[in-house]
Structure 1
Amino acid sequence: MLQPLAYVHPEAKIAHNVVIEPFAVIHKDVEIQEGTWIGSHAVINEGARIGKNCRIYPGAVISAIPQDLKFHNEYTLTYVGDNTTIREYATISRGTEEHWKTEIGSNCLIMAYTHVAHDCRIGNNCILTNNVQMAGHVHMGDWAIIGGSSSVLQFTKIGAHAMVSGGSLVRKDVPPYTKAAREPLAYTGINSVGLRRRGFSNEKISEIQEIYRFIYLRGLNNAESLTQIELELPPSNERDEIVNFIRTSERGIMRGPSSVGVEKE
């Protein structure tokens, strides 16, 4: 269903039932799979790989050249998974030679005026609320949510099922299953409401809470808390995910709720 007023490059690969509204622009080396809708004035640039049943709203720009002075027009890509919605005027840059691609998973909601910079990796079922500004190389786990008008520093990691409050400045890594708020960004508990909505049992939620008591409420540094967790708490997927996230954090994790002065390293 190609509108005559849309521009579609003859080399673009468009599935037969993709809807492209008037004044949309589809450049060459673009692939769009079945059932996707492209709104008026959306621009899909070279290197875009868009999955099935996506909705790209008017004014969105996908796979734009990175805003990175180290980019020298190398061949890179942007992947958008199935059933993902990208709202009005959101912008998503393609990758650089650092990672060669920007990735957005399936079933995501990227709200209006959000920016996702080069080489970001966003998992499945994530939500970026209006006007989130995400710098390059950010990693975001499945089911994570970032509140509106938040800014995320480059190379930051946000764990699975985490929830970041609106208006936040994310300078440190946010571990899985947590809630993050305040300035500077701090731990405010685990995302128990989100976990219950996704089928986590009360026992599993209590287990995750106990893990974070070691990390944030016992006055231990990170190395000590991880050692104690592995000694005292039984192995589980969630325990090992949290321990590995913190142990491999390069930026360090956000501070605890009662920290004063210097952030935990």
Structure 2
Amino acid sequence: MNETTIPAIGIERLSHGYNGKEVLHDLDLSVAAGEIFGFLGHNGAGKTTTMNILTTLVKPVSGTVSLFGEDAFADSGRARSMLGYLPENVNFYDNLTTLENLHYLARLSGLRDPKPRILQTLDYLDFTAHLDERVGSFSKGMRQRVGLAQAILHEPKILFLDEPTSGLDPSGVKQVRELVLKLNRERGMTIFMNTHLLSEVSLTCTSIGVLSAGRLVYHDSLQETLQRFPTENSLEEIYYAVGGSNGGMG
């Protein structure tokens, strides 16, 4: 099997729970290399738990996770070198500058001489002008830009985004969307995105999955999804049609 046919993310019979309560049940999912995958589900569906497992922050009770064919938990350090992660709320040292924060985080990630990479990444994200400004003075959108920088400093193959546009104004949402598309198009990054903004899914994602009560109830390309539901007026109606009616989006 050559690398182009190996899924970027492979999940088989993944189950997990907390305090005797099952959160994920026999989850199977495959995300192809180069996809922008939108992961949808109501509050409590298990999206965050899935994300935490995929980024090796939580070890599942049972099942397997592979990144480009490699067991994510056999060598978590190796797995983390292949992935970047932008949480919904990024924590920084507010009294430090963009450069100081990224330098500290890059060293934690193992980059020995991170400044050239930091400058290159900030230039790519059009954020160099804020290099020496304290992060504590930044808007949510600016903090997200710094968070995205830390997530891609080491040039990961897979980028995980947890509600990347949450709390942003329309301009910030558009900027994040354009950066996601740019990273996918120009750097070939596979992107796995938890989101509740269905409008962004239609503008960004190439495939979607719907999680309901810890089970994957739908997975297909966005194009096939829209063809399958030709009478639906919006992705929100499609979401409810395939089993996402157990609560509000989140």
The answer to whether the superposition gives a TM-score over 0.5 is no
Say which structure is richer in helix.
2
Which structure carries more relative contact order (alpha carbon 8 Å, separation 6+)?
2
Bigger radius of gyration among the two: 1
Q: TM-score, normalised by structure 2?
A: 0.29
